[in-house]
Structure 1
Amino acid sequence: TAAAPPRIFPQAQHFVSKEFCQTEFGIVYPPVISVSSGELIEVETRDCFDGKIHPPPNENDNNEYNPAQALQQMKRAEFNPITGPIHVNGAAPGDILAVTLLDIRPKGVGVT
């Protein structure tokens, strides 16, 4: 098994791995975790291309990877993966939930 990623907030009561990922919202997906209001949750996410698009290799590499071609080959349904769902105990349909993002740490490379 792969090593667990380093924790950003060791004091978080919960950790949700990027392995619990969907590409659409819907009630057909059961919650991956249930939390109470006020609990600190660390959520690991994937990038909008689910890691399938990355910089071209070093020009000295003999690799024919082309990011533009890789993007064209992706199915639209693979874009924007979301981690979760996360159930909040006591929340009901129509409730407004406030979520505070304490930190976001992007990976070293981005694509547009």
Structure 2
Amino acid sequence: EMITAQGLENIDGIYAADDSIAAGAIAALEARGVDAADYFITGIGNTFMGNPLVAEGKLDGTVFQSSSWDGGNAVRLIHSVLTGAVSGDRELLLMPSVKVTAANATDADVAPEW
């Protein structure tokens, strides 16, 4: 409905809040007989649904998310604060975001976990 409301001629790309929404946008375009590759489409999560779409070139990119990776970083930070390696007064911890594109979608270090 949103695609119809905007008009395909007014859409250059689609930024989806997660891979399932991106997959839905791709399916909606394809259902209209439109090649999704004509649009720049991204998602977030590098999920089991999104990763194959990236590898196929239908989804231009996503961002790797991993609960085990995030959890491991949290444990390391807590350990660093408790041992005095870093101060505990930081309000924000920035962790690197790994972009996933067709170039690395099949790499083991960005394999989807969910």
TM over 0.5: no
**Higher RCO (CA < 8 A, seq sep 6+):** 1
Structure showing the higher strand proportion among its residues:
1
Structure showing the higher helix proportion among its residues:
2
Compute the TM-score of the two structures, normalised by the length of structure 2.
Answer: 0.27
